Chains A and B, each alone.
Chain A
Amino acid sequence: MSKETELVRNKAKELLEDGDVELVVGYEEGTYPSRTTPLFADTLEKAERLIWNPFCVNSLPKLLSKGHFEDKLAVFVKGCDSRTVIRLLQDNQLDRDEVIVLGIPCNGNVDLDKIKDKVDITTIIEVEVTNNGVNVKTEGSTEELSREEALYDKCLDCRFPNPVIADEVIGNEVSELPKNKNKDDEVASLANKSVAEKNEFWEAHFERCLRCYACRNACSACTCRDCLFDRDERSTWLAKGKTLSDNEAFHITRAFHVAGRCVDCGECERVCPVGIPVQKLNRKISLDMDNLFGIGEIATSEDDIDNPPPLGTFLTEDPEEFM
């Protein structure tokens, strides 16, 4: 059992025993040690199943958005997930008094799809992620992989390894992570391409969209109880049909609905079963928002909860490009 797992279990048991919370939301082992799945622990026996390792990737706070739970609860968050907490608090999807945020600094999450050709993922025993690389220990051997080879793309450009909001931080703070990738440069180079090239790039991706709505369901800013894409197909011009232009309308609309509120957690892109670079859309808008309204990086501290999103407010000094 790793040190982190022990800390996570002890903390959960302590909170449940003292009656501070009714429910602790964390991760448990899935089919094999390299798979994890969310665990809702309401008893001490269940809390014994909690784990913490570099495979704990799903963002948990979204599961707690309004209407799902009545009880006071505690949730484990990484740096990226902690920004989701800020998003949900600002959108009135969580009550600050009803949730205890347990932050755990993170060095990066391991992408099983990336390493499955290099190691047998069913035999993985332990994984260690450091600034220099990723050591994967299996039953037979130990593989040393680079961060680019083993981690999720979103982790290669991580700017928030430590929780930005937490009632308690478990484990040691992570100092600055190496930047193995620059998402913003990728967005800028795509934006500078010709109209035809951009069209070709996005059509090739949107064409493959299955309209499974995994991106929407994982999104920390997508919390409408009645999503406009769930309406009857015939009653609206936003059809559910799976044609290129309907898919395109879906992605453009969704991107704009989270404009100025996207916390750049990268969950949309991670959960996409066909690998559409959804984050390239959202990141473009975030950069435009900063460019137009000078908002910088949003959801970086608890103080940001009181800053209304730029498209949800009006200031006389707002830019007016259309005048």
Chain B
Amino acid sequence: MKRLLEYVGFEPERLYVKWISGSEGQKFADTATEITENIKKLGPNKKMRDAQ
């Protein structure tokens, strides 16, 4: 799915698929922080936003 979305023109840095178990609190927090930082660098997504 990630590959397909990249193919139709989404930025790869916006797309994450990660397996995190319920017991891995730190991994969850780290991942969320990492995603947020990367997305902030990219700015708002323009793709598929024309309906709003």
Which chain A residues border B6 with CB–CB below 8 Å? 195, 198
What CA separation (Å) do A244 and B8 show in the bound complex?
13
A284 within 8 A of B: yes
B50 within 8 A of A: yes
A256 within 8 A of B: yes
Whether the pair A320, B9 counts as a contact (CB closer than 8 A) is: no
Whether the pair B8, A245 counts as a contact (CB closer than 8 A) is: no
Which chain A residues border B9 with CB–CB below 8 Å? 195-196, 198-203
Partner of B18, one of A195, A196, A322: A322
Partner of A321, one of B8, B11, B17: B17
0 or 1 for each of B25-52: is its CB under 8 Å from A? (1 = yes): 0000000000000000000000111110
Whether the pair A255, B4 counts as a contact (CB closer than 8 A) is: yes
One of A10-18, A62-70, A246-254 at the interface: A246-254
Main secondary structure of the interface of B (DSSP, over half): loop
Whether the pair B4, A256 counts as a contact (CB closer than 8 A) is: yes
Which chain A residues border B4 with CB–CB below 8 Å? 252, 255-256, 281, 284-285, 288
What CA separation (Å) do A103 and B7 show in the bound complex?
36
Whether the pair A288, B3 counts as a contact (CB closer than 8 A) is: yes
Which chain B residues border A245 with CB–CB below 8 Å? 47-51
Interface residues in A229-273 (C-beta closer than 8 Å to B): 239, 241, 243-246, 248-249, 251-252, 255-256
Among residues of B, the one whose C-beta sits closest to the C-beta of A206 is B8
A191 within 8 A of B: yes
What CA separation (Å) do A255 and B3 show in the bound complex?
12
What CA separation (Å) do A191 and B3 show in the bound complex?
9
Interface residues on A, range: 20 to 34
Which chain B residues border A281 with CB–CB below 8 Å? 4, 7-8
A188 → chain B closest CB, angstroms: 11
Whether the pair B8, A202 counts as a contact (CB closer than 8 A) is: yes
Interface residues on B, range: 10 to 19
Among residues of A, the one whose C-beta sits closest to the C-beta of B17 is A322
A224 within 8 A of B: no
A315 within 8 A of B: no
A323 within 8 A of B: yes
B39 → chain A closest CB, angstroms: 15
What CA separation (Å) do A126 and B49 show in the bound complex?
51
Partner of B10, one of A190, A195, A322: A195
Whether the pair B8, A195 counts as a contact (CB closer than 8 A) is: no
Whether the pair B8, A248 counts as a contact (CB closer than 8 A) is: yes
Knowing A252-B5, A281-B7 are in contact, say whether A243-B17 is a contact too (CB < 8 A).
no
What CA separation (Å) do A230 and B37 show in the bound complex?
39
Interface residues in A181-201 (C-beta closer than 8 Å to B): 190-191, 195-196, 198-201
What CA separation (Å) do A256 and B2 show in the bound complex?
11
Among residues of B, the one whose C-beta sits closest to the C-beta of A291 is B3
Cβ contacts A to B, 14 pairs, < 8 Å: A191-B7, A199-B8, A199-B9, A243-B50, A245-B48, A245-B49, A245-B50, A248-B48, A249-B48, A252-B5, A256-B1, A288-B4, A320-B19, A321-B17
Binding site for B on A (CB under 8 A): 190-191, 195-196, 198-203, 239, 241, 243-246, 248-249, 251-252, 255-256, 281, 284-285, 288, 320-323
Binding site for A on B (CB under 8 A): 1, 3-12, 17-19, 47-51
Other contacts beyond A196-B9, A249-B48: 13, CB < 8 A: A191-B7, A195-B6, A198-B7, A199-B8, A201-B9, A243-B50, A245-B48, A248-B8, A256-B4, A281-B8, A284-B3, A284-B4, A323-B19
